[in-house]
């Protein structure tokens, strides 16, 4: 179906207060999976968002791996116009598409082949470059690379060896670098694995969470330098599955210390339980006092040191009585600041990855962040 897009707009005001910050829900906007096209290209699987205030556009990274020709080429970036205001989101349109470069030695953009990239997060640097993460290539190896705005690859940020898959170690398949965050000055980069490294303990279950590492890098020098690693422990899966599958992990982060000094980051945990649905939690994360575990090749389980502190700020649940807002959640994987609202406070946008799955939808949520 490639006709006129079907959209649903919800405009509503709900307040969610948690200590140092309040999140006021302003509204939602959604587009059915089968209805969103850019020419002959299906639009969706948005796994990361970054806002460019100079141009008033958003970069939405698509995590489709390009294995189905009908779903397009792997490693593509949507340039989006997300029309926001005091009372919600009024429209979301694709302005253009950029393809990412797989070969910096060859001039121009050499697109990734099927399965060569699983792009998950995108950040915009102060000097207007893009930092993009992939959680796997054909060998299940994650990477973090820097690109020009036209998609040309410029350089690569080294990944600590403990994250590289090998016998008894490394990231689990499809559970690597979903989340990254960058300080406004571009000097400090954070990234995290979605669920525990093989050597760091089990995956999440309805009985217990999973031990994730938040990695801090210094980008101010000539070469990126690892500074520290901190342990972040996720919540257990919110409900036992009625089918065979359930999970919970860290899928997005946002640097917030310049706006909310009590927290360094916002972290988004996305849970799914088959037969129940999604459960999304946004936490304020403080790194102060947490143990630096970068020299530990494997974490004790359960972790006996000091993990980061986290405070629940927002919950959006498939179980209505547990949800802070009256919107059924989907597969939320993105969080970013948007433009300043008429109140003078920053806007916050969350977005979902629809997996090109017809029952799912492209969902965008707008909040006012009130420090």
State pLDDT tens for residues 87-110. 899 999 999 999 999 999 999 999
**Cis, bond preceding 302 (omega within 30 deg of 0):** yes
pLDDT over threshold 50, residue 229: yes
What DSSP state is assigned to residue 186? S
Does a structural domain hold residue 245?
A: yes
Does a structural domain hold residue 355?
A: yes
Give residue 158's pLDDT band: very low, low, confident or very high (50, 70, 90).
Answer: very high
CATH number of the domain encompassing residue 180: 2.115.10
Q: What percent of the chain has pLDDT over 70?
A: 95
Give the CA angle between residues 322, 327, 332 to the nearest 5°: 90
Q: Which two tokens stand for residue 127?
A: 């000097």
Of the ranges 10-24, 164-178, 232-246, 320-334, which one carries the lowest mean pLDDT score? 10-24
| Beta carbons of 15 and 310 less than 8 angstroms apart | no
Does a structural domain hold residue 242?
A: yes
Average pLDDT estimate for 198-215: 98
What sign has the CA pseudo-torsion 221, 135, 133, 89? negative
Give residue 369's pLDDT band: very low, low, confident or very high (50, 70, 90).
Answer: very high
Of the ranges 1-15, 215-229, 263-277, which one carries the lowest mean pLDDT score? 1-15
**What is the reported pLDDT for 4?**
41
| Beta carbons of 10 and 88 less than 8 angstroms apart | yes
Does a structural domain hold residue 2?
A: no
Does a structural domain hold residue 184?
A: yes
- For residues 183 and 265, what is the distance between their CA atoms, to the nearest angstrom? 10
Does a structural domain hold residue 27?
A: yes
* 3 state SS of 84: strand
What sign has the CA pseudo-torsion 351, 239, 175, 260? positive
- For residues 156 and 295, what is the distance between their CA atoms, to the nearest angstrom? 22
Of the ranges 16-30, 96-110, 213-227, 297-311, which one carries the lowest mean pLDDT score? 16-30
- pLDDT tens-digit readout, 264-318: 999 999 999 999 999 999 999 999 999 999 999 999 999 999 999 999 999 999 9
- For residues 52 and 105, what is the distance between their CA atoms, to the nearest angstrom? 28
pLDDT higher at 2 or 62 = 62
Which are the contacts of 108, defined by CB distance < 8 A and separation ≥ 6?
A: 101, 152
Pairing of strands 46-52, 37-38: unpaired
**What is the reported pLDDT for 16?**
65
Which phi and psi angles does 322 have, rounded to 5°? -100, -5
Average pLDDT estimate for 180-193: 98
- List, in sequence order, every residue forming a beta bridge with 39; answer none if it has no partner: none
Q: Which two tokens stand for residue 263?
A: 């927290």
**What is the reported pLDDT for 117?**
98
> Considering its fold, how many domains does the chain have in total?
1
| Measured CA distances, 66 to 1, 111, 142, 234, 333 (Å) | 20, 11, 17, 31, 19
- For residues 250 and 255, what is the distance between their CA atoms, to the nearest angstrom? 14
Does a structural domain hold residue 1?
A: no
Domain that holds residue 199: 7-370
Q: What DSSP letter does each residue of 137-177 carry, written as one string?
A: -TTS--EEEEE-TTS-EEEEEPPPGGGS-BTTBSPPTT-S-
Residue owning tokens 């820097």:
146
- List, in sequence order, every residue forming a beta bridge with 367; answer none if it has no partner: 25, 348
pLDDT over threshold 60, residue 6: no
pLDDT over threshold 50, residue 166: yes
**What is the reported pLDDT for 41?**
94
């Amino acid at each position: 179906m490639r006709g006129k897009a079907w959209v649903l707009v919800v405009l509503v005001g709900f307040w969610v207060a948690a200590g140092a910050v309040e999140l006021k829900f302003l509204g939602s906007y959604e587009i059915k999976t089968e209805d969103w096209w850019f020419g002959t290209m299906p639009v969706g699987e948005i796994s990361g968002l970054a806002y460019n205030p100079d141009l008033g556009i958003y970069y939405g990274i698509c995590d489709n791996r390009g294995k189905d020709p009908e779903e397009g080429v792997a490693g593509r970036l949507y340039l989006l116009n997300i029309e926001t205001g005091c009372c919600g989101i009024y429209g979301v349109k694709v302005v253009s598409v950029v393809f990412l470069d797989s070969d910096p030695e060859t001039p121009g953009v050499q697109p990734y082949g099927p399965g060569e990239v699983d792009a998950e997060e995108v950040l915009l640097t102060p000097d207007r470059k893009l930092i993009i993460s992939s959680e796997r290539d054909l060998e299940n190896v994650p990477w973090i690379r820097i690109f020009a705005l036209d998609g040309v690859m410029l350089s690569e940020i080294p990944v600590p060896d403990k994250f590289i898959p090998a016998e008894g170690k490394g990231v689990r398949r499809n559970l690597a670098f979903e989340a990254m965050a960058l300080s406004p000055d571009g000097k400090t980069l954070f990234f995290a694995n979605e669920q525990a490294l093989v050597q760091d303990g089990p995956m999440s279950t309805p009985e217990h969470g999973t031990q994730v590492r938040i990695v801090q890098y210094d980008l101010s020098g000539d070469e990126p330098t690892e500074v520290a690693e901190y342990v972040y422990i996720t919540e257990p899966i919110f409900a036992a599955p009625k089918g065979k599958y359930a999970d919970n992990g860290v899928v997005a982060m946002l640097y917030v210390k310049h706006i909310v000094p009590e927290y360094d980051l916002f972290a988004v945990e996305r849970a799914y339980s088959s037969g129940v649905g999604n459960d999304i939690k946004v936490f304020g994360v403080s790194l102060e006092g947490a143990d630096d575990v970068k020299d530990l090749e494997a974490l004790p389980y359960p972790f006996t040191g000091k993990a980061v502190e986290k405070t629940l700020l927002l919950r959006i649940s498939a179980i209505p009585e547990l949800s802070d807002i009256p919107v059924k959640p989907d597969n939320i994987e993105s969080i970013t600041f948007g433009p300043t609202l008429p109140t003078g406070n920053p806007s916050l946008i969350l977005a979902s990855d629809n997996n090109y799955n017809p029952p799912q939808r492209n969902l965008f949520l707008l909040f006012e962040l009130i420090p």
